[in-house]
Amino acid sequence: MATTIDQTQTHTEQWHALAQQLRVDSVRSTSAAGSGHPTSSLSGADLMAVLIGKYMKYDWDHPDNPANDHLIFSKGHASPLLYAMYKAVGAIPDEEMLTFRKFGSRLQGHPTPAIPYVDVATGSLGQGLPIAVGIALAGKYLDKLPYKVWVLLGDSEMAEGSIWEACGTASHYKLDNMIAILDMNRLGQRGTTMLEHHGEIYAGRAAAFGWHTIEIDGHNLEEIDQAYQEALDTTGQPTMIIAKTLKGRGVSFLEDQLDQHGKPVQADKGDAAIEELGGESNIVIQTQKPEPMSPFPKGSNASVELPTYELGAKAATRVAYGDALKALGAREAVVALDGEVSNSTYAEKFAKEYPERFFEMYIAEQQLVAAAVGMSVRGRVAFASSFAAFFSRAYDFIRMAAVSRANIRISGSHAGVSIGEDGPSQMALEDLAMMRAVFGSTVFYPSDANQTAKLVALMADTDGISYIRTTRASTPVIYGADEEFTVGGSRVVRESENDQVTVVAAGITLHEANKACEELAGEGINVRLIDLYSVKPVDGETLSSAAEATGGKIVVVEDHYPEGGLGSAVLKGLIKGENYELMPLKLRHLAVRVMPGSGKPEELLHAAGIDADCIANAVRELAAQ
């Protein structure tokens, strides 16, 4: 079936034949699926034909070759075009291409790394470019390899702020290994884009953001060829090619038409479309290949000496995060990124020791997380830090990172009302809910510096999205430096044979609970105190034992809004066994239920009803029942 390209043709004729095949296949796969985006694929077909026909260096037999170029479809809905390219380079057979969007197929509606040639999931617009920045940073500053990062952009997504975070960052870091190709087809989902075919405005904006820009006719194969060459020849800055295209290009009744977004060709017109495009073909081309290279070795044998803190001393968990991160720097694969607050998150400790592996992302949290995802694509162990509250800015990126099966570590400092005077804008009070709901995530909330160090080290070896919530204030060191902590673990901090109530706390509230327990002990009320440092997964066994030992009387206390945090985690943990049984409980849930203001940490903890006094009162009430 497969044919090679006709060598008697000129390059332009060959690319044209290839582009038409990409178009035909985009129509065929979406028709077979009964859904998808053929018209958004047709506009970019010429651009992609020249890319694989001449420029892109990729060893399709070895997608793990670290020298391969990267290609990211930031406009993920053009997946039919991408999958048609995979067929055209011989990476997938025609039959598989026609499984597009079917249950069980790796060729999903939007690209995901279920396919080995796809670096990251796209489909939430505006994400491909900032992730590409992370890959390009790795290429230029860490890998020091000549691979290029090609990004196909849609014009609708140019309205997303994340695109401009990426543009600013890419030029700041002089990422001349990045080439963005803007498929400016003028039409969005429900009508025209904001800037329609005003390529000069896109070019002006990209240039103002420090990019080399080239405006071309995106259906003129020679202009495309020249633009790619010019991009490759450009040094010291990234290049954006603004390609004027027509949505539905090549099919007269689809071309530049409104109301043709995201629809397969009408059933009775499919043949006509394919005929107009020149009919089916099965050309398989050879792309350029990079030099063969072995995949980077995984893991590291570097010995990491974690920081230790003296029992009884005071230390902030955010400081311990910084110390541990610096210690982990002994592993070459570890990189750190921060959102211009590294003197608060203490990522600066790493930055000072390993400046070549620290990346300042400025106040651009979407780019911060996206760059970490890009580092993950390049096999790096990336830690991204900012105030916990500000990761809410990047939630879509975190959600999508999980779809991408990326391995990233996030450190959110300044959690809860306990930060004090800065007030609610700086207080993370929904981060546990947000991070627990991420697919496959691991969520830690340590109370102690030694524990923090151990958990940060665990994060380095934990796949998926892991999150650590740190505290601004210095708190007592309560664990010895030799104690171990685990994913899914917890610690019983106090217990006796006649505990009347279980208290579950983490982070700042563990110390409040400890104080309450001291006071209650003087009154003859014994409490089992659990440090639920692993909020997800949660240690159901320890929680259940404690609940049983204390007659189902439990106080959960957290510096977080009531929904989705520690309280939810505890209830989830208490459902146990094959019968999914939840024992009878008397459960007081102390959480932040009033909008906080400014004040001293102790004033705000009290006002929120989560300080030692409030915990003691809740325990007394339960104990008396």
> 145 or 201: whose CB is closer to its own copies?
201
Angle between helices 221-233 and 11-33 (to 10 degrees): 100
- Return the half-sphere exposure (C-beta side, CA atoms, 13 A cut-off) of residue 403: 17
- The smaller minimum CB distance to its own copies, of residues 148 and 393, is found at 393
8 A C-beta contact, residue 280 and residue 433: no
Contact in structure between 26 and 42 (CB atoms under 8 Å): yes
Separation of alpha carbons 83 and 115, rounded Å: 10
Cβ closest to its own copies, residue 55 vs residue 202 = 202
Q: What is residue 619's three-state secondary structure?
A: helix
In whole angstroms, give the CA distance from residue 283 to residue 11: 14
Task: Report, in Å, the least distance between residue 68 CB and its own copies.
Answer: 23
Nearer to its own copies, 1 or 594 (CB): 594
Coil, strand or helix: which one is 318?
Answer: helix
**Closer CB to its own copies, residue 9 or residue 598?**
598
Token pair, residue 253, equals 């009744």
Contact 65, 293 (CB under 8 A): yes
- Least distance from C-beta 619 to its own copies, angstroms? 12
**Contact criterion met (CB below 8 Å) for 464 and 491:** no
Min dist. Cβ of residue 343 to its own copies (A):
4
- CA 387 to CA 524: how far, in whole Å? 40
Kindly state the smallest distance separating residue 160's Cβ from its own copies, in Å: 6
Give the other-Cβ count within 10 Å of 210's Cβ: 18
**Nearest approach, Cβ of 595 to its own copies (angstroms)?**
6
In the complex, the smallest distance separating the C-beta of residue 103 from its own copies, rounded to whole angstroms, is 3
Report the nearest approach of its own copies to the CB of residue 256 (Å). Answer: 18
What are 560's two structure tokens? Answer: 């977080």
Q: What letter does residue 141 receive in the DSSP assignment?
A: I
Catalytic residue among 365, 430, 512, 558, which?
365
DSSP strand pairing (381-387 vs 408-413):
parallel
When the beta carbons of 219 and 414 are compared against its own copies, the nearer one is 414
CA–CA gap between residue 446 and residue 531 (Å, rounded) = 8
CA distance 464 to 405: 6
> Is there a contact between 371 and 137 (Cβ–Cβ < 8 Å)?
yes
- Dihedral in degrees, nearest 10, Cα atoms 173, 179, 183, 188: -30
To 10 degrees, what angle do helices 395-403 and 365-377 make?
Answer: 20
Q: Which strand (E) or helix (H) includes residue 531?
A: strand 527-531
Q: How far is the CB of 358 from its own copies (least distance, A)?
A: 12
Nearer of residues 120 and 221 to its own copies, judged by Cβ: 120
* Closer by beta carbon to its own copies, 396 or else 495: 396
Establish whether 340 is a catalytic residue: no
- Using only C-alpha atoms, what is the Rg of the chain? 28
Residues known to be catalytic: 365
